[in-house]
């Protein structure tokens, strides 16, 4: 459940934030990110009014760009500095952490894995469901190119260790 954020707030100028207001369901007032077409409210099932979701479709791309930046700059999908000013920032922060857990644990079944991880938090069902769906959508969008960045970083880290060990001889 999104109730603001209590971690220390740091601003990173290198990363992207969704520059629009949080989407709020007209019927039940749940805040969520309508990240794909024909999406219903995760709490009450009300359809997002046609066209509205178009404004938020960029969420996936922005989040992927941030994860690419995190990975190339410090070798993890997690952000070192991340400003949380609204719901989509908060959701991106969850996605960074969860995608990093997927990368490390390589689970066979994404949904159950994520449900298990998220159930440790005191969130309501609609938020859990929404977070799982959006994280899976993001993870599936990570292109071969982005996954190869991970491989390259691992290799360069390995080379650094080898070079270091060679110098010790």
Distances (CA, A) of 98 to 46, 119, 164: 27, 12, 32
Of 59, 24, 58, the closest CA to residue 44 belongs to 24
Closest distance of CB 69 from Zn ion, Å: 33
Distances (CA, A) of 42 to 29, 56, 140: 11, 16, 20
Among 9, 21, 24, 27, the residue binding Zn ion under the rule CB under 5 A is 27
The nearer residue to Zn ion, 1 or 28, going by C-beta atoms, is 28
Residue 28 contacts Zn ion per CB under 5 A: yes
Q: Which residues, numbered 35-94, are part of the site for Zn ion (CB under 5 A)?
A: 41, 43-44, 46
The nearer residue to Zn ion, 13 or 49, going by C-beta atoms, is 49
The nearer residue to Zn ion, 30 or 142, going by C-beta atoms, is 30
Q: How many chain residues bind Zn ion (CB under 5 A)?
A: 8
Segment contacting Zn ion by CB under 5 A, of 26-34, 100-108, 141-149, 154-162: 26-34
Please name every residue paired with 31 in a beta bridge, in sequence order, or none if there are none: 24
**For 45, how many CA atoms within 13 A lie in the half-sphere containing its CB?**
0
Among 18, 23, 25, 77, the residue binding Zn ion under the rule CB under 5 A is 25
Distances (CA, A) of 133 to 79, 98, 152: 21, 12, 28
Closest distance of CB 98 from Zn ion, Å: 23
For the chain, the maximum distance between any two Cα atoms, rounded to a whole number of angstroms, is: 69
The nearer residue to Zn ion, 27 or 65, going by C-beta atoms, is 27
Provide the binding-site residues for Zn ion, judged by CB under 5 A. Answer: 25, 27-28, 30, 41, 43-44, 46
């Amino acid at each position: 459940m999104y109730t603001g954020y209590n971690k220390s707030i740091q601003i990173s100028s290198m990363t992207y934030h969704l520059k629009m207001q949080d989407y709020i369901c007209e019927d039940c007032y749940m805040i969520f990110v309508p990240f794909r077409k024909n999406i219903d409210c995760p709490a009450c099932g009300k359809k997002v009014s046609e066209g509205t979701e178009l404004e938020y479709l960029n969420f996936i791309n922005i989040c992927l760009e941030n994860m690419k930046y995190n990975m190339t700059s410090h070798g993890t999908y997690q952000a070192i500095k991340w400003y949380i000013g609204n719901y989509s920032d908060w959701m991106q922060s969850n996605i960074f952490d969860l995608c990093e857990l997927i990368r490390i644990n390589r689970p066979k079944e994404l949904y159950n894995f994520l449900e298990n991880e998220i159930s440790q938090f005191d969130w309501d069902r609609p938020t859990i469901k929404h977070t799982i769906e959006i994280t899976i959508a993001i993870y599936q969008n990570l292109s071969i190119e982005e996954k190869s960045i991970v491989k390259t970083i691992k290799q360069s880290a390995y080379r650094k260790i080898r070079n270091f060990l060679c110098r010790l001889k």
